[in-house]
Amino acid sequence: MTTTEFNDKWSKYLEDGHYGMAIENPKVIEYLDKEFEKEVKHNKSFTYSQIKTKFGSSRVYCSSEKSFKWEMEIDQLLKE
């Protein structure tokens, strides 16, 4: 899956005016796709706006308390 495909799949949850996933890494995309699947099952108001790298680490801007956990896992995936 590409970043475009990811953002298309999750467009219902993407906040207006934001670009969404910007990390073009298949492992990161696959990981967050699975995490989003779990998240939307229990967090009906879930939204996201940006998923990117900034100052050498990942940033996940969303309405989930799991964003920090996701950032840590993404950082590990990007080191592989």
Count of structural domains within the chain: 1
Task: Place 70 in a pLDDT band, splitting at 50, 70 and 90.
Answer: very high
Residue 31 has pLDDT above 90, yes or no: yes
Which residue range(s) make up the domain with 18? 3-79
Q: What confidence score (pLDDT) does residue 80 get?
A: 87
34 has pLDDT over 90:
yes
| Helix 26-42 × helix 67-79 angle, to 10° | 160
Instruction: Report the distance separating Cα 6 and Cα 52, nearest Å.
Output: 13
**What percentage of the chain exceeds 70 in pLDDT?**
100
